[in-house]
A and B are shown apart, each in its own frame.
Chain A
Amino acid sequence: MKRFLTVAVAAAAALTLAACSGSPKATSSATTGVDPSGEIKPHAISWLLSRPADGAVVTIMQQLAGEYAQSHSGFSLNLITTPDRPSYIQKYETLAAANKLPELFDTDATPFAQKLASQGKMVDAQALLKSLGVYNQFRPGALNYQRFDDGSLYMIPFEYQPEFFWYNKDLFTKAGVQVPTSLDDLPQICAKLKAAGVTPIALDGQDQWPLERYIAYKPFRLAGPDYVTGLKKGDKQLSDSTGKAAAQWVSDLGSNGCFSSDFSSTGYADAQALFTSGKAAIYNIGTWELSSLATTKLSATVRDNVDFFTLPTVANAVTDPNEYVTSSGIGMAVNSKTYDPLVRDFLKFALGKFFTIAAQQGSLVPVTGVTTTVPDNATPLYKKALDAADHVGTKLVMPWDTQLDPTSNTRLQQELVLLAQGKTTTDQFIDTMDTAIKQNAPKYFG
């Protein structure tokens, strides 16, 4: 007993200490103007980002930082990249909680980012881009993708990536199927492709967001982009006709064998390999994979059989066929706490040059007036994809993983797998998700 009391007193003392040392503290919310006065004093800055280490953004930014440092001795740009998105989000949110975010950091327009913006922790990107004289160069769709619900803009896009359904013409012909004109055609097409002995759709289930795209498609066609805006706040429910249609469609995709039996544990590279090796007929992915799908890097046996179609529509659709997922990638936010004349000057320098270089290297860019160079090893499909990107409509499918509150989003990703596997019914799915959103949305949107 005495020993227990001693331990209890020690615990109480430590608790008191912990209380005094205080741990969580509300952070200050300093708002900084976009054109700070003062001298440009070169120093090292960092960019916490979630992009491929050998991708265009990292390599070009390294090159531009080197050029900038030649005229600004003492400047350096430390690029800290974590391409794996869940790991990145953990790092970014932990640093945000500790108020230790670097000068520049990547984020999607998530509810968490909106909280940071509302606390004045991010520089107003719209005001910044306008003050740098580059705002009007951006494609409206690329900026809209980065905006929060209230229309405010706190992230700068560096990419422009329409997402297509790449398909294997040869496998379609062998299975006797045509390109779907309606989303409702897809389950039947899958059944025929499966009967022909191929995996209908190559899906990276491990990363979860690719399957989450499928639940977003029907509501986008039936009710437009505002549906998810209402759903995430609890103003709309999946139990309405649109939500039921969406859940039923994903269920139908699963029951018609659209995805491989092990899709939930199939990774990004394996899903892509399924398609590029000619074992899967359809692959839904963005133009960031152009170099893998529309160049001579692709196996000669598959290369000439690859084509793409855009998101099929539905009867009585409220969005146009040329409106689909067109992401401008994860955006770059500017930390208002560390924003100074140097950061502004470097951004002015970098934004003035980045897009031209990226376009010369074959990347689609989020600005107009710059023509993307088609690489020498490209197939005709490359040019076709670039042309399609220039004709994307104004409404966008906003990926639901960037819209829902994170707890509901995690639950949705889990339940979607079960729905596609046929391990839960559409009614159970809808009930679970409506309950989850009702419980969690008020913490973010209340």
Chain B
Amino acid sequence: MLPRRSRLSVLVFLVPPLAVYGIAVLFPILQSLFLSFFQWDGTTAPKAIGVANYARMLGGDSVFWHAFGNNLLYVAISIVIQIGSALIVANLLLTLTRGHAVVKTLYLLPAVISTVAIAFLFQRIYSVQPEGLLNQLLQAVGLGHLQQPWLSNISTVLTAVSIPEGWRFTGLYMLILHAAFLAVPAELEEAARLDGASRWQVFRLIRFPYIRPVWITTLIMAMTYDLRGFDIPYLLTNGGPGQSSELLTTYMYKTAFTSTDYGYASAISVFIVVECLVAVGLIFLVLRRRDQS
């Protein structure tokens, strides 16, 4: 039982942010949920249609399922790039004796560049005419036959739009993981090395288990952020060609602001919220089972 003064302090510090959270996050979600039971074009009176939007979304909308499939692949590629390379770079940084700050700044740089600039940059990198950096590099190393319009080819476009998203936040997650690595007690690693552990064993059996809670947090952050990924695919391809790089978010945006079908767009947005919650739940479930085993 907290003393009266402490309880007051807790209220003073917790209630304002909770109120802001409620107004800025929970209320719009609930409002979307409410709106998802209507057919509304923004100009005429909304018409209550029950769960028809959900039935359409889950049962008869091929674009929705196509976008959902794209979303899963987009998240997978982005996470592998973000968390995978962040883990490697953060680990390698420990071996550097000088220039930590420069390397960290360079890796973090993409996270502070505006999205529009990143989209423009990658549009140039992938370009065919004028020949972009990627196609020039392929030509230079004798792989000219692999040159192609990366953003116009339906087989490569989804990967092409996922890479900038992954590249952009690698530095951020690298910083978090590097800070966690620095907290690993040096004596533990030293003892392991004295016992003859290789570098890989030190990483696998000492460092990684020690930073596991931080790694889980970054994984959740990356996954929820990537599930909501919108800006780079929208700016680079607008979901095309066809629906090859359409994500749930870009589809929702078009449904709301191009088709002015706010009810259906709200149903998609509710699905995205549920999808994020399920993804986080699955991560916890898998990890808990692994811990128990």
Residues of A within 8 A of B (CB): 11, 14-15, 18-19, 23-27, 86, 89-90, 93-94, 96-97, 112, 115-116, 119, 121, 199, 205-206, 208, 260-267, 270, 274, 279, 405-407, 410-411, 414-415, 417-418, 421, 423-424, 440, 443
Contacts and interface: CB of A to CB of B under 8 A. Distances in A.
Given A18-B31, A261-B148, 15 more contacts: A24-B42, A26-B46, A89-B258, A90-B258, A93-B42, A97-B42, A97-B43, A260-B128, A260-B129, A262-B128, A262-B151, A407-B259, A411-B63, A417-B240, A421-B241
A117 to B, nearest CB: 11
Given A265-B236, A423-B241, A406 B260 contact: yes
A414 B245 CA distance: 11
A415 B148 CA distance: 21
A94 B262 CA distance: 10
Contacts of A423: 154, 241-242
Contacts of A443: 41, 261
22 contacts: A15-B34, A23-B35, A23-B46, A24-B45, A25-B45, A89-B257, A93-B257, A96-B43, A97-B42, A97-B260, A112-B41, A115-B44, A116-B43, A261-B128, A263-B152, A265-B151, A270-B130, A406-B260, A407-B261, A414-B240, A418-B242, A423-B242
A440 B31 CA distance: 25
Given A261-B152, A263-B152, A265-B149, A410 B259 contact: yes
Contacts, number: 127
B246 to A, nearest CB: 8
Interface of B: 26-27, 30-31, 33-35, 38, 40-46, 63, 123, 126-130, 148-149, 151-152, 154, 236-243, 254-255, 257-262
Which of B31, B42, B254 has the most A CB atoms < 10 Å from its CB?
A: B42
Contacts of B38: 24
A213 B258 CA distance: 19
Contacts of A89: 257-258
Contacts of B30: 11, 14-15, 18
Nearest to A271: B129
Given A93-B257, A262-B128, A26 B262 contact: no
B27 A18 contact: yes
A133 B44 CA distance: 34
Contacts of B130: 270
Nearest to B123: A265
A97 B243 contact: no
A417 B43 contact: no
Top 3 A-B pairs ranked by shortest CB distance? Answer: A97-B42, A262-B149, A26-B45
B251 to A, nearest CB: 10
B31 A23 contact: yes
Contacts of A266: 129
